Structure 1
Amino acid sequence: MTGVFPDSFLEADIFCLKKAGDASNPLNYRPLALLNSDYKVFTRILATRVSRTLPGIIHPNQNGFVPGRTIHATIDLFDVAQIMSGIDCDEEDAVALC
Protein backbone atom coordinates (compact mmCIF):
# COMPACT_ATOMS: atom_id res chain seq x y z
CA MET A 1 0.00 0.00 0.00
CA THR A 2 1.43 3.33 -1.02
CA GLY A 3 -1.36 5.69 0.04
CA VAL A 4 -1.54 7.02 -3.51
CA PHE A 5 -4.55 6.59 -5.76
CA PRO A 6 -3.97 4.94 -9.13
CA ASP A 7 -3.92 7.27 -12.13
CA SER A 8 -7.17 5.70 -13.35
CA PHE A 9 -8.95 7.29 -10.36
CA LEU A 10 -8.07 10.71 -11.75
CA GLU A 11 -9.41 10.07 -15.23
CA ALA A 12 -12.89 10.65 -16.63
CA ASP A 13 -14.41 10.60 -20.09
CA ILE A 14 -16.44 13.76 -20.62
CA PHE A 15 -19.29 13.95 -23.10
CA CYS A 16 -21.59 16.83 -23.95
CA LEU A 17 -25.29 15.98 -23.92
CA LYS A 18 -27.63 18.23 -25.88
CA LYS A 19 -30.52 19.76 -24.01
CA ALA A 20 -33.58 21.24 -25.68
CA GLY A 21 -33.03 24.18 -27.98
CA ASP A 22 -30.71 25.26 -30.74
CA ALA A 23 -27.88 22.76 -31.31
CA SER A 24 -25.51 25.56 -32.35
CA ASN A 25 -25.77 27.27 -28.94
CA PRO A 26 -23.14 25.89 -26.50
CA LEU A 27 -25.41 26.75 -23.56
CA ASN A 28 -27.81 24.03 -24.72
CA TYR A 29 -25.32 21.30 -23.79
CA ARG A 30 -24.43 19.87 -20.40
CA PRO A 31 -21.28 17.93 -19.55
CA LEU A 32 -21.42 14.33 -18.38
CA ALA A 33 -18.33 12.77 -16.79
CA LEU A 34 -18.03 8.98 -16.86
CA LEU A 35 -15.75 7.78 -14.07
CA ASN A 36 -13.78 4.56 -13.87
CA SER A 37 -15.69 1.63 -12.29
CA ASP A 38 -12.95 0.78 -9.79
CA TYR A 39 -13.12 4.37 -8.53
CA LYS A 40 -16.88 4.06 -8.04
CA VAL A 41 -16.52 0.77 -6.14
CA PHE A 42 -13.79 2.18 -3.90
CA THR A 43 -15.72 5.35 -3.05
CA ARG A 44 -18.89 3.36 -2.30
CA ILE A 45 -16.99 1.10 0.12
CA LEU A 46 -15.34 4.12 1.75
CA ALA A 47 -18.67 5.98 2.07
CA THR A 48 -20.32 2.95 3.67
CA ARG A 49 -17.54 2.55 6.23
CA VAL A 50 -17.46 6.25 7.07
CA SER A 51 -21.27 6.44 7.41
CA ARG A 52 -21.15 3.71 10.08
CA THR A 53 -18.62 5.71 12.10
CA LEU A 54 -20.05 9.22 11.77
CA PRO A 55 -23.01 8.94 14.19
CA GLY A 56 -20.52 8.61 17.06
CA ILE A 57 -18.54 11.62 15.87
CA ILE A 58 -21.17 14.14 14.77
CA HIS A 59 -22.69 16.20 17.58
CA PRO A 60 -26.42 15.56 18.16
CA ASN A 61 -27.15 19.24 17.42
CA GLN A 62 -25.64 18.96 13.94
CA ASN A 63 -28.65 18.74 11.63
CA GLY A 64 -27.57 20.02 8.24
CA PHE A 65 -26.41 17.43 5.72
CA VAL A 66 -27.05 14.51 8.10
CA PRO A 67 -29.37 11.77 6.81
CA GLY A 68 -32.63 11.64 8.75
CA ARG A 69 -32.24 15.17 10.12
CA THR A 70 -33.25 18.53 8.72
CA ILE A 71 -31.96 22.03 9.22
CA HIS A 72 -35.51 23.27 9.88
CA ALA A 73 -35.45 22.23 13.56
CA THR A 74 -32.27 24.23 14.10
CA ILE A 75 -33.72 27.27 12.34
CA ASP A 76 -36.87 27.06 14.50
CA LEU A 77 -34.77 26.83 17.66
CA PHE A 78 -32.68 29.82 16.55
CA ASP A 79 -35.85 31.85 15.87
CA VAL A 80 -37.20 31.05 19.35
CA ALA A 81 -33.85 32.01 20.92
CA GLN A 82 -33.93 35.36 19.11
CA ILE A 83 -37.48 36.04 20.24
CA MET A 84 -36.69 35.08 23.83
CA SER A 85 -33.57 37.27 23.89
CA GLY A 86 -35.70 40.27 22.91
CA ILE A 87 -38.15 39.81 25.79
CA ASP A 88 -37.47 41.56 29.09
CA CYS A 89 -38.09 38.73 31.56
CA ASP A 90 -38.42 41.13 34.52
CA GLU A 91 -41.53 42.82 33.10
CA GLU A 92 -43.39 40.10 31.22
CA ASP A 93 -44.09 36.41 31.39
CA ALA A 94 -43.48 34.52 28.17
CA VAL A 95 -44.08 31.04 26.87
CA ALA A 96 -42.43 29.68 23.73
CA LEU A 97 -44.23 26.87 21.93
CA CYS A 98 -42.41 24.84 19.32
Structure 2
Amino acid sequence: MGVNWPPSPEEVKDVLFGMASLKSLGSDGFPPTFFKQYWHIVGEQRIKVVIHFFASGQPPTAFNHTYISLIPENPNACSVEHFQPIRLCDTTYKVISKILKNRIKPVLHRIISPLQMAFVPGRTINDNSIISHEIMYYLHRKKGKNRFMTIKIDLTKAYDPVEWAKERDALAVKECLSKFETFLKPGSKCKKILCTL
Protein backbone atom coordinates (compact mmCIF):
# COMPACT_ATOMS: atom_id res chain seq x y z
CA MET A 1 0.00 0.00 0.00
CA GLY A 2 1.33 3.46 -0.90
CA VAL A 3 1.87 6.26 1.57
CA ASN A 4 -0.83 8.44 0.04
CA TRP A 5 -3.55 5.86 -0.55
CA PRO A 6 -6.71 6.61 1.40
CA PRO A 7 -6.87 4.39 4.47
CA SER A 8 -9.61 1.85 4.94
CA PRO A 9 -12.25 2.54 7.61
CA GLU A 10 -10.72 -0.34 9.60
CA GLU A 11 -7.26 1.26 9.49
CA VAL A 12 -8.62 4.58 10.79
CA LYS A 13 -10.53 2.82 13.57
CA ASP A 14 -7.55 0.60 14.51
CA VAL A 15 -5.23 3.60 14.80
CA LEU A 16 -7.69 5.59 16.89
CA PHE A 17 -8.52 2.66 19.15
CA GLY A 18 -4.78 1.99 19.57
CA MET A 19 -4.21 5.46 21.05
CA ALA A 20 -4.03 6.03 24.80
CA SER A 21 -7.60 6.85 25.84
CA LEU A 22 -6.80 9.87 27.96
CA LYS A 23 -4.07 11.31 25.76
CA SER A 24 -3.94 15.09 26.17
CA LEU A 25 -6.73 16.76 24.27
CA GLY A 26 -6.05 19.36 21.65
CA SER A 27 -8.01 22.20 20.11
CA ASP A 28 -11.02 19.98 19.40
CA GLY A 29 -11.38 19.39 23.15
CA PHE A 30 -11.96 15.65 22.77
CA PRO A 31 -9.53 12.96 23.93
CA PRO A 32 -9.45 9.60 22.10
CA THR A 33 -11.72 8.07 24.75
CA PHE A 34 -14.60 10.25 23.51
CA PHE A 35 -14.27 8.93 19.96
CA LYS A 36 -13.92 5.36 21.21
CA GLN A 37 -16.99 5.54 23.43
CA TYR A 38 -19.18 7.25 20.82
CA TRP A 39 -17.71 5.59 17.71
CA HIS A 40 -21.17 4.42 16.65
CA ILE A 41 -22.18 8.10 16.38
CA VAL A 42 -18.99 9.95 15.32
CA GLY A 43 -16.97 7.17 13.66
CA GLU A 44 -18.27 7.56 10.13
CA GLN A 45 -17.64 11.31 10.15
CA ARG A 46 -14.06 10.86 11.48
CA ILE A 47 -13.36 8.27 8.78
CA LYS A 48 -14.64 10.66 6.08
CA VAL A 49 -12.40 13.48 7.38
CA VAL A 50 -9.30 11.24 7.36
CA ILE A 51 -10.07 9.78 3.91
CA HIS A 52 -10.74 13.28 2.54
CA PHE A 53 -7.33 14.39 3.80
CA PHE A 54 -5.60 11.48 2.05
CA ALA A 55 -7.57 12.16 -1.15
CA SER A 56 -6.90 15.91 -1.23
CA GLY A 57 -3.70 16.36 0.81
CA GLN A 58 -5.27 19.38 2.46
CA PRO A 59 -6.14 19.24 6.16
CA PRO A 60 -9.29 21.00 7.37
CA THR A 61 -8.57 24.45 8.82
CA ALA A 62 -9.26 23.26 12.36
CA PHE A 63 -6.29 20.85 12.11
CA ASN A 64 -3.97 23.85 12.22
CA HIS A 65 -5.23 24.94 15.62
CA THR A 66 -2.88 23.82 18.36
CA TYR A 67 -2.62 24.41 22.09
CA ILE A 68 0.81 25.02 23.51
CA SER A 69 0.79 24.27 27.20
CA LEU A 70 3.53 24.54 29.79
CA ILE A 71 3.88 21.38 31.87
CA PRO A 72 5.77 21.68 35.19
CA GLU A 73 8.92 19.56 35.30
CA ASN A 74 8.64 19.24 39.08
CA PRO A 75 5.94 19.86 41.70
CA ASN A 76 7.60 23.06 42.95
CA ALA A 77 7.92 24.80 39.58
CA CYS A 78 8.10 28.53 40.18
CA SER A 79 9.84 30.00 37.12
CA VAL A 80 9.65 29.53 33.36
CA GLU A 81 12.80 27.37 33.34
CA HIS A 82 10.92 24.75 35.38
CA PHE A 83 8.25 24.25 32.69
CA GLN A 84 8.38 22.16 29.52
CA PRO A 85 6.27 23.32 26.54
CA ILE A 86 4.09 20.69 24.90
CA ARG A 87 2.03 20.97 21.71
CA LEU A 88 -1.47 19.56 21.96
CA CYS A 89 -2.92 18.60 18.57
CA ASP A 90 -6.46 17.39 18.02
CA THR A 91 -7.23 13.67 17.91
CA THR A 92 -7.90 13.47 14.16
CA TYR A 93 -4.55 15.14 13.45
CA LYS A 94 -2.90 12.48 15.63
CA VAL A 95 -4.73 9.71 13.75
CA ILE A 96 -3.50 11.02 10.37
CA SER A 97 0.05 11.43 11.70
CA LYS A 98 0.03 7.87 13.05
CA ILE A 99 -1.25 6.44 9.74
CA LEU A 100 1.50 8.26 7.82
CA LYS A 101 4.10 7.13 10.37
CA ASN A 102 2.94 3.50 10.15
CA ARG A 103 3.18 3.60 6.35
CA ILE A 104 6.65 5.17 6.21
CA LYS A 105 8.12 3.11 9.07
CA PRO A 106 8.72 -0.11 7.04
CA VAL A 107 11.08 1.68 4.62
CA LEU A 108 12.98 3.80 7.14
CA HIS A 109 15.68 1.18 7.69
CA ARG A 110 16.59 1.49 4.00
CA ILE A 111 16.95 5.27 4.01
CA ILE A 112 18.45 5.96 7.45
CA SER A 113 22.21 5.63 7.62
CA PRO A 114 23.58 3.03 10.04
CA LEU A 115 25.69 5.92 11.40
CA GLN A 116 22.60 7.93 12.33
CA MET A 117 22.28 7.85 16.11
CA ALA A 118 19.61 10.31 17.17
CA PHE A 119 15.88 9.73 16.67
CA VAL A 120 16.30 6.03 15.83
CA PRO A 121 14.86 3.39 18.18
CA GLY A 122 17.61 1.51 20.00
CA ARG A 123 20.21 4.22 19.33
CA THR A 124 20.99 7.36 21.29
CA ILE A 125 22.99 10.46 20.51
CA ASN A 126 25.06 9.65 23.62
CA ASP A 127 26.52 6.68 21.73
CA ASN A 128 28.49 9.13 19.59
CA SER A 129 29.90 10.87 22.67
CA ILE A 130 30.98 7.56 24.17
CA ILE A 131 32.63 6.46 20.91
CA SER A 132 34.45 9.82 20.62
CA HIS A 133 35.66 9.53 24.21
CA GLU A 134 36.92 5.98 23.60
CA ILE A 135 38.79 7.04 20.45
CA MET A 136 40.44 9.96 22.24
CA TYR A 137 41.42 7.70 25.14
CA TYR A 138 42.95 5.21 22.69
CA LEU A 139 44.89 7.94 20.86
CA HIS A 140 46.30 9.39 24.09
CA ARG A 141 47.45 5.94 25.25
CA LYS A 142 48.91 4.91 21.86
CA LYS A 143 52.68 4.62 21.76
CA GLY A 144 54.98 3.94 18.84
CA LYS A 145 56.05 5.38 15.51
CA ASN A 146 52.58 5.76 14.02
CA ARG A 147 51.08 9.21 14.53
CA PHE A 148 47.40 10.03 14.63
CA MET A 149 45.46 13.21 14.26
CA THR A 150 41.98 14.22 15.33
CA ILE A 151 39.85 16.86 13.66
CA LYS A 152 37.12 18.77 15.44
CA ILE A 153 34.15 19.46 13.20
CA ASP A 154 31.51 22.09 13.93
CA LEU A 155 28.30 20.13 14.28
CA THR A 156 25.93 23.08 14.25
CA LYS A 157 25.20 22.31 10.60
CA ALA A 158 23.73 18.98 11.71
CA TYR A 159 20.87 20.85 13.35
CA ASP A 160 20.22 23.34 10.54
CA PRO A 161 16.85 22.90 8.86
CA VAL A 162 16.93 20.32 6.09
CA GLU A 163 15.91 21.56 2.66
CA TRP A 164 12.46 20.14 1.95
CA ALA A 165 13.38 19.11 -1.62
CA LYS A 166 16.38 17.10 -0.39
CA GLU A 167 14.27 15.46 2.29
CA ARG A 168 11.69 14.37 -0.28
CA ASP A 169 14.41 12.97 -2.53
CA ALA A 170 16.02 11.07 0.33
CA LEU A 171 12.74 9.43 1.22
CA ALA A 172 12.30 8.31 -2.41
CA VAL A 173 8.56 8.86 -2.22
CA LYS A 174 8.44 12.29 -3.88
CA GLU A 175 5.04 11.99 -5.48
CA CYS A 176 3.48 10.68 -2.27
CA LEU A 177 4.94 13.23 0.11
CA SER A 178 4.41 16.20 -2.18
CA LYS A 179 0.69 15.66 -1.77
CA PHE A 180 1.04 16.12 1.99
CA GLU A 181 3.72 18.80 1.92
CA THR A 182 1.64 21.38 3.77
CA PHE A 183 0.91 18.82 6.49
CA LEU A 184 4.42 17.37 6.83
CA LYS A 185 6.71 20.26 5.97
CA PRO A 186 8.89 21.34 8.91
CA GLY A 187 8.14 24.89 9.89
CA SER A 188 4.74 24.95 8.19
CA LYS A 189 2.58 27.73 9.54
CA CYS A 190 0.03 27.01 12.21
CA LYS A 191 -3.19 28.94 11.69
CA LYS A 192 -3.97 29.38 15.38
CA ILE A 193 -1.90 28.81 18.51
CA LEU A 194 -3.53 28.97 21.92
CA CYS A 195 -1.26 29.15 24.96
CA THR A 196 -2.36 27.68 28.27
CA LEU A 197 -0.77 27.16 31.67
Shorter chain as normaliser: what TM range? 0.5 to 0.7
What secondary structure, in the 3-state scheme, does the structure 2 residue paired with 1:40 have? helix
1:72 Cα offset (Å): 3.1
How many corresponding residue pairs? 87
What per-residue deviation string (whole Å, max 9, x for no partner) do you get for residues 36-70 of structure 1? 32211101111222222211111112122211112
Say if 1:14 and 1:78 are closer, same or farther in 2 by CA, change over 3 A: closer
Aligned ranges 1:7-46 → 2 under 5 Å: 7-12=61-66, 34-46=88-100
**Which residue does 2:133 correspond to in 1?**
79
**Which residue does 1:68 correspond to in 2?**
122
Of Structure 1 and Structure 2, which has the larger fraction of its residues in helix? Answer: 2
Tell me how far apart the structure 2 counterparts of residues 73 and 32 of structure 1 sit (CA, whole Å). 27
Say if 1:30 and 1:71 are closer, same or farther in 2 by CA, change over 3 A: closer
List runs of 5+ in structure 1 lacking aligned partners. Answer: 92-98
Amino acid at match of 1:69: R
**Percentage identity across aligned positions?**
29
TM-score, structure 2 length as denominator? Answer: 0.33
Tell me how far apart the structure 1 counterparts of residues 107 and 118 of structure 2 sit (CA, whole Å). 17
Amino acid at match of 1:10: N
Determine which structure has greater relative contact order: mean sequence separation of CA pairs < 8 Å that are 6+ residues apart, divided by chain length: 2
Aligned counterpart for 1:3 among listed residues 24, 33, 57: 57
TM-score, structure 1 length as denominator? Answer: 0.57
1:79 Cα offset (Å): 1.4
Indicate yes or no: 2:111 matched with 1:49: no
What secondary structure, in the 3-state scheme, does the structure 1 residue paired with 2:58 have? coil
Structure number with bigger Rg: 1
Amino acid at match of 1:48: N
**Which residue does 1:95 correspond to in 2?**
none
Of Structure 1 and Structure 2, which has the larger fraction of its residues in strand? Answer: 1
